[in-house]
Structure 1
Amino acid sequence: MKKYLVRYKPFLLFLGKFLLTYLLLTFVYESYLNQFDAKKFEVDGVTQLVAEQTKNGMLFFNFEAKVTPNAKEPAINLFYNQRHMARIIEGCNGLSVIILFISFVIAFSGKKRETILFIIGGSLLIHVLNVFRIALLSILLYYFPTREHILHGVFFPLFIYGAVFLLWIIWVNKFSKYATKNFKS
């Protein structure tokens, strides 16, 4: 047994750091969400921020947009050209994706400063891409309403998770301790 622990130590350390970070950040996030009463249709602040930024981004590019609270569930309604196009719920705010991103980076951590900067920069990039994703999805659904399944269910998850995957590849190959060892050899 000891032979396997020694042999697979790097993988076990990665797995342990990943799971510990993921569970800790998820617990903090869930504690944050528990402050809001879903029965009263309260929407958390991050979801509200994402909805406002989506609207403002669309307005910046001269797309008519408006957001209003949803009267039937904890969500924000997004309108494009006076037509209801999206319901922005907690799952749309991107925080769960950012938690996954951060957990992986910490599990493959590099130098402390680089790790922190990459986490901040990557999280901001994911956030901006997520806002862009919601705006673009709303506009495309306006023109192609019959394509909702492929747009919302396939293309846009692929878009956001693909960006996270590329960030992970950059991290592992350029900044992690693993990359440092390979480039110095």
Structure 2
Amino acid sequence: MKALLKKYKSVIRFIVTFLAVYGVLTIGYNVYLNASDGSKFYPDYLTHLVADQTNALLNGLDYKSDVVPHPNEPSMKIVINGKYVARVIEGCNAISVIILFLSFLVAFAGKFKTTLFYGLAGSIIIYAFNLIRIVVLSIGLYHYPWRREILHTVIFPMLIYGTVFLLWMVWVNRFSKQIQTNE
């Protein structure tokens, strides 16, 4: 048993570190969500921010859009030219994807400064890409509402998780200590 633990020490360290960071960040995010009272920023600040930024981008693309609180659920409705096309829920703010990204990054940590800057840059890339994803999805749903399922459940999740995967591959191959120590 001791030989197995020694042989797979780096794998076990990765799994434990990943799960610990993921758990701490997820619990912290859930504490934040439970502390959000929704009075000023409905349903919570980050989801509200994503909805407002989506609206600004849609209007910048000459779509007459508006976001309004959903009356029956904790979400923001995206309305384009008077047509309700989508809703922005808590899961649309990319925080859970960023938590997943950061957990992997820390588990495959490089130098502290490099890890910190890459984590910040990667989080910004994921956040920005997610905003673009919501804008394009909203426009797609406005013009092609019958493609709702494939757009929302296949194409756009594939793009956001594909982006995270590419960021991970760059990290592992260029900056991670684990790769450098194995060479």
Which residue number in structure 2 is paired with residue 26 of structure 1? 26
The answer on whether the counterparts of 2:53 and 2:131 sit within 8 Å (CA) in structure 1 is yes
Distance 1:57 1:178 in 2: 40
Which residue number in structure 2 is paired with residue 151 of structure 1? 151
For the aligned residues, what is the CA RMSD?
1.4
Distance 1:178 1:4 in 2: 19
Shift of 1:8: 0.1
Distance 1:56 1:107 in 2: 36
Alignment of 1:162-173 (within 5 A): 162-173=162-173
Tell me, what secondary structure is at the counterpart of 1:50? helix
Which residue number in structure 1 is paired with residue 64 of structure 2? 64
Which residue number in structure 2 is paired with residue 103 of structure 1? 103
The share of aligned pairs that are identical, in percent, is 46
TM-score, with structure 1 as normaliser: 0.94
Gaps of 5+ in 2: none
Partner deviation per Cα, 1:88-119 (whole Å, 9 max, x = no partner)? 11011110000000000000000000000000
Whether 1:79 and 2:79 are equivalent positions in the alignment is: yes
Letter aligned with residue 54 of structure 1: T
Shift of 1:178: 2.4
Which residue number in structure 2 is paired with residue 116 of structure 1? 116
Count of residue pairs brought into register by the alignment: 181
Shift of 1:179: 3.1
Letter aligned with residue 55 of structure 1: N
Partner deviation per Cα, 1:22-66 (whole Å, 9 max, x = no partner)? 00000000000111358xx94010000000111111122222211
Which residue number in structure 2 is paired with residue 2 of structure 1? 2
- The worse-fitting range, judged by mean Cα deviation, of 53-62 and 69-78 is 53-62
Letter aligned with residue 44 of structure 1: D
TM-score, with structure 2 as normaliser: 0.95
The answer on whether the counterparts of 2:68 and 2:77 sit within 8 Å (CA) in structure 1 is yes
Tell me, what secondary structure is at the counterpart of 1:62? coil
Tell me, what secondary structure is at the counterpart of 1:100? helix
Letter aligned with residue 64 of structure 1: K
Whether 1:88 and 2:77 are equivalent positions in the alignment is: no
Distance 2:161 2:79 in 1: 25
Distance 1:124 1:58 in 2: 20
Partner deviation per Cα, 1:116-172 (whole Å, 9 max, x = no partner)? 000000000000011110110010011111111100010010010000000000000
Distance 1:144 1:123 in 2: 30
Tell me, what secondary structure is at the counterpart of 1:19? helix
